[in-house]
Amino acid sequence: MINVELFYDDDNVRGFVVKGHAKFAPKGEDLVCASVSALSQTAILGLDAFMTVKPLWKINEDGYLECWLPDIVSPKDMQNAQVIIGTMEIGLKNIEESYEQYLKVGRRRCV
């Protein structure tokens, strides 16, 4: 199963973590895994393109990706980040509706 956690402070998302493999189909044929990868990696590309201060992120081949907004973000960068990550969340939630046994999307409050 793939688990996606979006981390929020008051009203703003501050980062997200994607872990696991869907195991919906064999490697290279798994449309759930490919969809989650495409959405989450495109979100990082969008953040990189539309923020003046770049997000901090890492990814590995073991089904792990994390992305965090910098501690200090301008209001415009924060607004752009909320739209980009919010759009990712909408897409992931849509996939979760059809493939809930393979994908779980949740929200957590930042500590």
Q: Which residues are catalytically annotated?
A: 21, 33
Taking residue 81's Cβ as centre, other Cβ atoms within 10 Å add up to 24
User: Hey, how many other C-beta atoms are within 10 angstroms of the C-beta on 51?
Assistant: 19
* Strand, coil or helix: 11: coil
Task: Say which residues have a Cβ less than 8 Å from residue 104's Cβ, sequence separation at least 6.
Answer: 1, 2, 3, 4, 96
